[in-house]
Amino acid sequence: MNKKTFALKGTVCYSETPNRLFVMEDAYLVCDNGLSAGVFPVLPEKYQGIPCRDVSGCLIIPGLTDLHLHAPQYRFRGTGMDLELLDWLNTYAFPEEARYSDPEYAFRAYSIFTEDLKRSATTRASIFATLHGQATELLMDLLEATGLKTFAGKVNMDRNGSPDLQEESAAASARDTARWIENCAGKYRNVKPILTPRFIPSCSDALMDELSALQKAYRLPVQSHLSENLGEIAWVKELCPDARFYGEAYDRFGLFGGKDCPTIMAHCVHCTDEEIALLKERGVFIAHCPQSNTNLASGIAPVRRYLAEGIPMGLGSDIAGGSSLSVFRAMTDAVQASKLRWRLLDDTLAPLTLEEAFYMATLGGGSFFGKVGSFEEGYEFDAVILDDFNLPCPLPLTSKERLERLVYLSDDRNITGKYVFGNMLF
Amino acid sequence: MNKKTFALKGTVCYSETPNRLFVMEDAYLVCDNGLSAGVFPVLPEKYQGIPCRDVSGCLIIPGLTDLHLHAPQYRFRGTGMDLELLDWLNTYAFPEEARYSDPEYAFRAYSIFTEDLKRSATTRASIFATLHGQATELLMDLLEATGLKTFAGKVNMDRNGSPDLQEESAAASARDTARWIENCAGKYRNVKPILTPRFIPSCSDALMDELSALQKAYRLPVQSHLSENLGEIAWVKELCPDARFYGEAYDRFGLFGGKDCPTIMAHCVHCTDEEIALLKERGVFIAHCPQSNTNLASGIAPVRRYLAEGIPMGLGSDIAGGSSLSVFRAMTDAVQASKLRWRLLDDTLAPLTLEEAFYMATLGGGSFFGKVGSFEEGYEFDAVILDDFNLPCPLPLTSKERLERLVYLSDDRNITGKYVFGNMLF
């Protein structure tokens, strides 16, 4: 019996499918060597005598996945919410990211970010850093220490930045990226590098060529932005007049999914039919970021359509286009945004259900990390314990109602335990 | 010098106009006999020696006003978010409200609600109870004890309810309402009765006639719902075929604003031009409830237009169509909803600014209660102290940035002091 073999006892909830929530009360959730061994009404004979943390009265859910966020923007979350994407980047995001040329600042700021991420219900995340290799490694050192399993990317941008936030050439960007990748090699157990071209307006064709070569050489996954905001999309059309749609500007460099290039594209608010078909064909993961899409007045993505097409999808907080680090908040934002889209824009796409939002936040996004986001046997054991002690109620609630209330109303005080790949964080 | 004469020292913020935020750091905010004596960089000579609570490092803002919420629905907030208004009423709201025929249940449930309201940043609220007189008085007893200044209304509904939630006749409803009003007379200092016809579909013409007479006899203010959801509006048109618009169905009974009938109408999502003109003419207060309007897929109110027309307006949490009791959350929801409305529906109405949302939550809604919602001299002294201790930042922030961050990110832990009409609650 492995030292990572133990049980949690409580009310276990996880998504079996986008529409079906598994709930078992007074259940034993068994972790065997970092993997879930399943959920049982009675502890099976082979697990008799293993350590058991009894959190009866609490809910136990899979850890949440945040498929898209910018760590260096955490400082200004909840401020500067008065502009659309492109002006917002130039006014708020780029000046802040430029500060990360200073490792001392990076360490102070990233320490605050990683501490808060550790306390949240998130166990997996795919994170943008800045273009600075040294600061990105500092972030990765701090992420490693949290115990969370994450991807982190040094950003590439060789055009349309600002005087203090742009790499000097495609070659320089590629050289610094290669050095960063080499520095990471073998250094971390929990955090892995991910190739991170900021978005098409930030990356010349020459840079995309270099990144394509790096991707193939190091077999790295890729994250970027796609079809977020109307101004951005018009700009990409100008910059890449021969691309039939935005996504093709990534695809022609082999940086748009496919078997050997796992890819996350954030937003996908305004995708054309052709773009959606290619997302599906390539198995690109969509990171749906409803709060950011609202704050930056980008619009509302047709999530119901993506679900129906079977495109892999998770949720993103998109700090700091989004102001909340909570993936619970992303769940309720996703449901709410889908209702407004249905009411105002297109009543053929029914609003999302809580079950669907929960699925996206767990199994949907978790799948980018492998067998993650479920308690079915063989899934990596990421678990979060939720205690609704401070939400008194004059009536008994069903477990599903308790879960729904926690999704809508909880904060970090309700998160009383957290495990990643079988390791207890708290 | 009155015993309620004292100063708070800190960073004082309040709305001078919908677009202008007053901010003074290291300021003295003086309370003289329950009223604000103004904000000063140095304590004026006549106030030398008064007690001073030094909260330097904290922000001090006017208490927030919640212009619309249903206390008996607090129990199921954050659950049952899968239906539109009319089905939601029948499925979730009416069955819960029916429980308040039991005073023991009412006491338990209302105790939870009033305790949470006291801890919030809200100092003024206009609240729906249920149709039960006794339970409504219990709610008022509990509200009185909080020290908050509130209106609370026994609901009237003599049609289209459910078997266990409907008054037996217009006469019975009027009789119970008169008894409730008489029972309240002289009993409370902080909580006052407000006439509360639920909405037109719940109130027969005969009942509206009775309520009109009660309103005139007791000179009570009025609260109700208006033009919230498309299904509701179509139903009102069927029920009142001779009313040119929904609001006229209240107005023909004299229950729609005017000098002698201060009125709050919640929602106003889908008002016609004629209805807007009458709202303006009558000085009706609009309670804008963006979270509820999203959760129930009602739509997004044209708030920018109402502001431009000078119609009095505040924010409502609309518990439990809204799931959050926080008026800070209502502020950010208002800004976010206005952005989606601008993007998806009508780009002639610019998104709301943080200043405008703050104004609506303070001076806008507060004005229903008199001179409330500002720290200008002569306003009733409602103050909330905000401490951003748990939002560390690697850079100094301006006071306005700190306020914006608190609006987006704070919870009850950040509310470290609260005063209503000069009385310290904590």
CA angle B424, B425, B426 (to 5 degrees): 95
- Asked if A392's CB is within 8 angstroms of B323's CB, the reply is no
pLDDT at B3 over 70: no
Between CA B9 and CA B25 the distance in angstroms is 9
Between CA B236 and CA B243 the distance in angstroms is 9
Q: To the nearest 5 percent, what fractions of chain B are helix, strand and coil?
A: 40, 25, 35
Q: What is the mean pLDDT of residues B356-362?
A: 98
CA angle B426, B332, A230 (to 5 degrees): 165
Each residue of A119-156: pLDDT tens digit?
999 999 999 999 999 999 999 999 999 999 999 999 99
Between CA A388 and CA A399 the distance in angstroms is 11
A295 in B contact zone (CB under 8 Å):
yes
- Asked if A344's CB is within 8 angstroms of B409's CB, the reply is no
- Asked if A343's CB is within 8 angstroms of B297's CB, the reply is yes
For residue B299, the distance in angstroms to the closest alpha carbon of chain A comes to 6
Chain B residue closest in CA terms to A397: B76
Ramachandran angles phi, psi of B420, nearest 5°: -130, 125
Which of A21, A74, A81, A108 to mutate to test binding with chain B, by most B CBs within 10 Å of its CB? Answer: A81
Contact between B155 and B122 (Cβ < 8 Å): no
CA dihedral sign of residues A406, A408, A410, A416: positive
Chain A neighbours among B 388-417 (CB < 8 Å)? 392-395, 397, 401, 404-405, 407-409, 411
Contact between B372 and B122 (Cβ < 8 Å): no
pLDDT band of B4, cuts 50, 70, 90: confident
In terms of DSSP H, where are the helices of B224-326? 230-239, 246-251, 273-282, 290-295, 303-309
Provide the 3-class DSSP secondary structure of residue B386.
strand
- What share of chain A has pLDDT > 90, as a percent? 99
Which run of H or E residues covers position B410?
none
Which burial class, exposed, middle or buried, applies to B65 when counting CB atoms under 10 A from its CB (0-12, 13-18, 19+)?
Answer: buried
Q: What is the largest CA-CA distance in chain B?
A: 66
A189 in B contact zone (CB under 8 Å):
no
pLDDT at A3: 63
Between CA B320 and CA A401 the distance in angstroms is 14
CB neighbours (10 Å) of residue A234?
Answer: 11
B347 in A contact zone (CB under 8 Å):
no
pLDDT band of B1, cuts 50, 70, 90: low
Of A300, A323, A405, the CB nearest to B78: A405
The whole-model pTM stands at 0.98
B344 in A contact zone (CB under 8 Å):
yes
- Asked if A408's CB is within 8 angstroms of B323's CB, the reply is yes
Which run of H or E residues covers position A7?
strand A6-17
Of B78, B340, B353, the CB nearest to A300: B340
B104: chain A residues, CB-CB within 8 Å: none
Which of B339, B342, B397 to mutate to test binding with chain A, by most A CBs within 10 Å of its CB? Answer: B339
- Asked if A300's CB is within 8 angstroms of B79's CB, the reply is no
| ipTM at complex level | 0.97
Contact between B326 and A411 (Cβ < 8 Å): no
Chain A residue closest in CA terms to B394: A109
What totals of helices (H) and strands (E) does chain A contain, helices first? 15, 17
pLDDT at B139: 98
Of A112, A344, A411, the CB nearest to B345: A344
Which of B96, B343, B347 to mutate to test binding with chain A, by most A CBs within 10 Å of its CB? Answer: B343
N- to C-terminal Cα distance for chain B? 22
b/e per residue B225-261 (b: at least 16 CB within 10 A):
bbbbbbebbebbeebbeebebbbbbbbebbbbbeeeb
Each residue of B143-188: pLDDT tens digit?
999 999 999 999 999 999 999 999 999 999 999 999 999 999 999 9
- DSSP letter assigned to residue A131: S
10-residue mean pLDDT profile of chain A (426 residues): values are 84 98 98 97 97 98 98 97 95 98 98 98 98 98 98 98 97 98 97 98 98 98 98 98 97 98 98 98 98 98 98 98 98 98 98 98 98 98 98 96 98 98 97
B295 in A contact zone (CB under 8 Å):
yes
- Asked if B336's CB is within 8 angstroms of A294's CB, the reply is yes
Computed on alpha carbons and rounded to an integer, the radius of gyration of chain A in Å comes to 21
Contacts of A343 (CB under 8 A, 6+ apart): B297, B298, B299
CB neighbours (10 Å) of residue B398?
Answer: 11
- What share of chain B has pLDDT > 90, as a percent? 99
- DSSP letter assigned to residue B359: H
- Asked if B353's CB is within 8 angstroms of A75's CB, the reply is no
- Asked if B411's CB is within 8 angstroms of A411's CB, the reply is yes
- Asked if A323's CB is within 8 angstroms of B409's CB, the reply is yes
Contacts of A274 (CB under 8 A, 6+ apart): A244, A245
Q: Is the peptide bond before A277 cis (omega within 30 degrees of 0)?
A: no
Computed on alpha carbons and rounded to an integer, the radius of gyration of chain B in Å comes to 21
A105: chain B residues, CB-CB within 8 Å: 394
Contact between A79 and B404 (Cβ < 8 Å): yes
Chain B residue closest in CA terms to A409: B78
B394: chain A residues, CB-CB within 8 Å: 75, 105, 108-109, 112
Chain A residue closest in CA terms to B337: A294
- Asked if B297's CB is within 8 angstroms of A324's CB, the reply is no
Between CA B396 and CA B400 the distance in angstroms is 12
Each residue of B232-246: pLDDT tens digit?
999 999 999 999 999
pLDDT at A404: 98
Chain A residue closest in CA terms to B399: A79
Between CA A183 and CA A297 the distance in angstroms is 39
- Asked if B108's CB is within 8 angstroms of A394's CB, the reply is yes
Between CA B426 and CA B417 the distance in angstroms is 5
Which of A87, A229, A340, A399 to mutate to test binding with chain B, by most B CBs within 10 Å of its CB? Answer: A340
For residue A239, the distance in angstroms to the closest alpha carbon of chain B comes to 24
- Asked if A351's CB is within 8 angstroms of B78's CB, the reply is no
Between CA B225 and CA B318 the distance in angstroms is 11
Chain A neighbours among B 116-145 (CB < 8 Å)? none
Ramachandran angles phi, psi of A161, nearest 5°: -90, -140
